[in-house]
Amino acid sequence: MKKRPKIAAIATIYHKYSHTQHIVDRFLEGYGWNSRHHYPPMDLVSLFVEQVKDNDLSGERLERFPTMKGYPTIAEALTLGGEELAVDGVLIIGEHGEYPTNEKGQRLYPRYEHFMQIAEVYEKSGRGVPTFNDKHLSWNWEWAREMYDISQSMDFAFMAGSSLPVTWRTPSIDMPLGVPVSEAVCVGYGGVDSYDFHALETLQCMVERREGGESGVKWLQAYRGDAFWEAHHAKLWSRELFETALCRSHTLTPSRPGFNNPFPNLDELKDIVKDPIAYQYEHNDGLKSTMILMNGLVQDFNFAAYIGSNDEILSTQMYLPMPPARTTLANFFSPLVNNIEQMFLTGEATYPVERTLLTTGLVAAGVDSLFADSTRQETPHLDIVYQPTEASTFWRT
């Protein structure tokens, strides 16, 4: 029989509804998949939790799953208390927990610091193992690039990101591989340096499949508040794509409750959305993409793009269960965990980490633009060229 892989989990915190609970619990207890309860064919054998609070779940999990052992350091979790790397895969879940924010409003999660401690064990052991990093690589672009470069130089499978590229879609469609794309828009919700990443991943997992693949991004400019409305009025992004994306929303706030047409006009949008945000950026091949956060208007992530030679419109929603089930059930973590499983089993990432490297850099550029009064940020460092996988990885229904 083939040996079951041993997995280590490195987490910032482990409480109810945290990312650690949603991901680690699926490795321990299994999850629904293809109309069956699926147990990952691997063993989560070690756990490091940096912050243990009153609402901590790790103690209960360690008691209930005695094959998993808790360790006081990251190195010991990877070596199982020995001298050499003793696991076959590593989860880095650096989301949630009490960490400071900087003057730009970025939460300083220690994903880079945890990764570097892991890389030190890899270097001492002379080998790395498949590694997954939850969400974007780091709040700091230079650190994110270093993480990527280390994975490349040490030649271990590295995957990162969130559930948005792999969750259900409504309708369940994909961007045709190799099709021309001239402009793309995502309308979502949430905060800066958090949900902007989700919206950017929504864009990128679609547009990376265009003719020629991903070419990198040359500049980005952010808009907020009045500057957003001025840009929207000036049609810096397609009004048609914006409205098409909104038509995919399942959570659109009605402009006039009780009327048959709830679609808001511009004045009504301003009443509903108090703090709109957009990141607009140009790819090196000329594609224009715009990420828009409309808190108060929608609570989902909706995509639209002009494709083909005649600018046909393709649109879909990256579907997450409606609140409050989104938080409690969080079924969209199941396809994410399934992709991580496949990497641990095969030693190959199921989708390119370059996508996450690019979206990490776009988040950082967006934050910098907002912090600098919406000035345009030149991004020659985001000259990230890659090809998508032939098969897309979203959860088909």
The pLDDT of residue 265 is 86
Are 223 and 374 in contact, with CB atoms under 8 Å apart?
yes
What is the rounded average pLDDT for all residues in the chain? 95
CA 237, distance to chain mean position in Å, is 23
Going by the DSSP 8-state scheme, the letter that residue 145 receives in this structure is H
Sheet holding 158-161, edge to edge: 69-70, 43-51, 6-13, 89-93, 131-134, 158-161
Q: What is the pLDDT of residue 228?
A: 98
CB atoms within 10 A of CB 172: 12
* Per-residue pLDDT reduced to its tens digit, 73-102: 999 999 999 999 999 999 999 999 999 999
Asked if 390 and 384 count as a contact pair (C-beta separation under 8 A), the reply is no
Which segments of the chain have a pLDDT < 70?
Answer: 1, 257-262, 322-329, 397
Q: Where do runs of H (alpha helix) occur along the chain?
A: 19-29, 58-64, 74-79, 111-125, 141-154, 195-207, 226-233, 239-247, 266-272, 325-328, 333-346, 353-371
pLDDT the model gives residue 329 = 65
Which residues in 56-87 are b (16+ Cβ under 10 Å) and which e?
bbbeebbeebeebeebeebbbbbbbeeeebbb
pLDDT of amino acid 254 = 83
pLDDT of residue 397: 67
| Strands 288-293 and 181-188, bridge-based pairing | parallel
Query: Residue 107: which of 201, 12, 24 has the closest Cα?
Result: 12
Report the distance separating Cα 84 and Cα 75, nearest Å: 9
Strand pairing category for 69-70 and 181-188: unpaired
Long-range contacts at 73-76 (CB < 8 A, ≥ 24 apart):
73/48, 73/117, 74/10, 74/48, 74/114, 74/117, 74/118, 74/121, 75/117, 75/120, 75/121, 76/46, 76/48
Q: What six digits make up the tokens of 138? A: 């780091």
Q: What is the pLDDT of residue 69?
A: 98
CA distance 170 to 318: 7
CA distance 5 to 346: 10
Longest CA span, the chain: 68
Measured between alpha carbons, how far is 30 from 90 in angstroms, rounded to an integer? 18
- d(C-alpha 333, C-alpha 166), whole Å: 9
Q: Output the pLDDT for position 10.
A: 98
For residue 354, what pLDDT is reported? Answer: 98
Q: Which domains does the chain have, with CATH numbers?
A: 6-161 (3.40.50.720), 165-323+358-382 (3.30.360)
CB atoms within 10 A of CB 44: 24
**Token pair recorded at residue 8:** 């280590």
User: Would you state the pLDDT for residue 136?
Assistant: 97
pLDDT at 263: 80
DSSP letter string, 40-76: -SSEEEEEEEEE--TTB-HHHHHHH-TTSEE-SSHHH
| Count helices and strands in the chain by DSSP H and E runs | 12, 16
Amino acid occupying residue 111: R
pLDDT (0 to 100) of residue 214:
98
